[in-house]
Amino acid sequence: MKTLYFIPHLRTGSGMGRVLNVKANYLAEVLGHEVTIITYRQFQDPVYFTYSDKVKMVHLDLDDPSFRLKELSFFEKRKQIQAFMSEYREKVENYLQNNPTDVCISMFLGAEYKFLTEIKDGSKKIIEFHFNFDISPFRIFNQKKSLKNFRNFLQIKSLKKKVDRFDKLVVLTEEDAVVWRKYFQNIHVITNPITINSEHINASLKSKVTLAVGRLTQQKGFDYLIDAWKTVHENQPDWKLQIYGEGELQDALNRQIQKNGLEDVVEIKDPVKNIEQVYEQSSLFVLSSRFEGFVLSLLEAMSCALPVVSFDCKYGPTQLIQYGENGFLVPLGNTKILAEKILEVLKDEDLRNSMGKSAKKTSENYSVPSIMAEWDKLFLSLTQENQP
């Protein structure tokens, strides 16, 4: 089967990029797919993750004006966007016409979603959406129509028509799918797989290190976690919190750490490729997000036999955590209870061990072979529709 993925670039170690890396390599190496990835703003930057030699890369390197639109006048903005989209469509159409493909997958609503279904090359078209409905453009459908949002409503309604033309829109959790299905008929659910090699990793749970992982953005709620750590530090001063991530809030979070006198026990560290080694050397994983699509870092931590404490945010944690068995769910934004549950785990090594074992068992449902079998089944079901 010939499978083609679209993603804007592969420059960073994002969760989405890691998922694509694992899926593309498995499809090519294990399932025998002919896999191609098309990007449009990779340029001279190296590809962050290591891909199989069997995965073909096509870097179009187009002049995408998206990040300079604020500097442009209305007419210049339209002119540059139209020029970019025209060039992108032409190159994609030429590629598909000259390279017969069975399935095309648009990741994360890349620019190609606007024209991909209009290209009549015989391939099936899929969108993967790695975020939840509440932060998608379509959330406007849950709002009351008004003169203020009427123009936006019409624009998103037009966008919906484009997405409706895709054969499938794949989302990450059944909980999220309930909302999507109110407005779309083509919803299919496939969760992310574990993206690290953790089969033989079991955290010792003896180091006095609590771990958090994610982009340093408002979504990830590290401000909540730092606030909760004030209480944790007062009760367990020997324990440290390590946050692995990068993003626009790094300076603000460092100021918060300093303001609360936590410089010696809370550290923000750069992302690493071998994150499984970090999980192995930790004793607890905390998720403080305001919202999620599917929490890849939480699943990774559980696969390394780490107990977890998480806000009960939309969506994902409730699908993974059985309260008191493999971790604790905490009311969203309640830093008092967050600190209490963190302390409960830190003070009890036996609890950490029992939760860690249960967490690893839960994670086995999300192995790469298991999840990729679902993708392969979807691809086959769609392509068989083309057969007489």
Q: Is 285 in the same domain as 374?
A: no
Rounded distance between C-alpha atoms, residue 145 and residue 43, angstroms: 42
Q: Is 67 in the same domain as 79?
A: yes
Q: Quick check: is 168 in a domain?
A: no
Q: Quick check: is 270 in a domain?
A: yes
Structure tokens that stand for 102 in this block: 């069975």
pLDDT at 61 (0 to 100): 95
Count of domains forming the chain: 2
Q: Is 41 in the same domain as 109?
A: yes
Q: Is 295 in the same domain as 373?
A: no
For residue 43, give its domain range: 2-130+368-386
This prediction has a pTM of: 0.85
Structure tokens that stand for 13 in this block: 């170690």
Q: Quick check: is 201 in a domain?
A: no
- Contact in structure between 166 and 186 (CB atoms under 8 Å): yes
Q: Quick check: is 159 in a domain?
A: no
Q: Is 34 in the same domain as 118?
A: yes
Q: Is 317 in the same domain as 361?
A: yes
Q: Quick check: is 199 in a domain?
A: no
Strands (E), the chain: 2-6, 34-39, 55-59, 103-107, 124-128, 168-171, 187-189, 209-213, 240-244, 266-269, 284-287, 308-311, 327-330
Q: Is 60 in the same domain as 125?
A: yes
Q: Is 376 in the same domain as 252?
A: no
Q: Is 375 in the same domain as 320?
A: no
Q: Is 361 in the same domain as 237?
A: yes
Smallest CA-to-CA distance from 373 within 219, 216, 190, 246 is with: 190
pLDDT at 74 (0 to 100): 80
- Which domain CATH number covers 78? 3.40.50.2000
Q: Quick check: is 169 in a domain?
A: no
Q: Is 318 in the same domain as 373?
A: no
Q: Is 349 in the same domain as 377?
A: no
Q: Quick check: is 253 in a domain?
A: yes
- For residue 95, the Cα-to-chain-centroid distance in whole angstroms is 28
**How does pLDDT run along the chain (388 residues), one tens digit per residue?**
999 999 999 998 888 888 999 999 999 999 999 999 999 999 999 999 999 999 999 999 999 988 887 888 888 888 999 999 999 999 999 999 999 999 999 987 789 999 999 999 999 999 999 888 988 889 998 888 777 788 888 989 999 999 999 999 999 999 899 999 999 999 999 999 998 888 889 998 999 999 999 999 999 999 999 999 999 999 999 999 999 999 999 999 999 999 999 999 999 999 988 899 999 999 999 999 999 888 889 999 999 999 999 999 988 899 899 999 999 999 999 999 999 999 999 999 999 999 999 999 999 999 999 999 999 999 999 998 756 5
Q: Quick check: is 148 in a domain?
A: no
